[in-house]
Copies of this chain bind each other. A is one copy, B any other.
Amino acid sequence: MIQIDYRDSRPIYEQIMNSFKKLIQAGVLVPGEKLPSVRTIAKENSINPNTIQKAINELENQGYIYSVAGKGSFVVEKIVNNPAKIEELKGKLMECSKELMFLGVSKEEIIGMINGGSDND
């Protein structure tokens, strides 16, 4: 369910966080659905529960899930709008697109990628 790359420079908790973000965005995890427990995720991936907990906390801070002590963590019904975050993402996207164009990728190809939405990870 989750992909961890220990050679990746990004911290493990961030990789876990992104995995869940993608599962939510892709609709694999639907609103209201319960996530596996911290301990389950930890055991299945041989990662320390504290690291999982950190990822879960971050996901809650960012508004993707909500946690209820003693019950579990659940996908939120609707993502809360966060204008600041949208601006940040727009900035990142523009930076990538500029650098790609500088490296010879045409504007059309980039737009094609966004239009097609083919998974490129």
Contacts and interface: CB of A to CB of B under 8 A. Distances in A.
Interface of A: 6-9, 11, 21-22, 25, 61, 66-69, 71, 74, 79, 81-82, 85-87, 89-100, 102-105, 107, 110-111, 113-115, 117, 119-121
Contacts of A95: 121
Contacts of A69: 9, 11
A6 B51 CA distance: 25
A95 to B, nearest CB: 7
A96 B96 contact: yes
Nearest to A112: B111
A100 B94 contact: no
Contacts of A96: 89-90, 92-93, 96
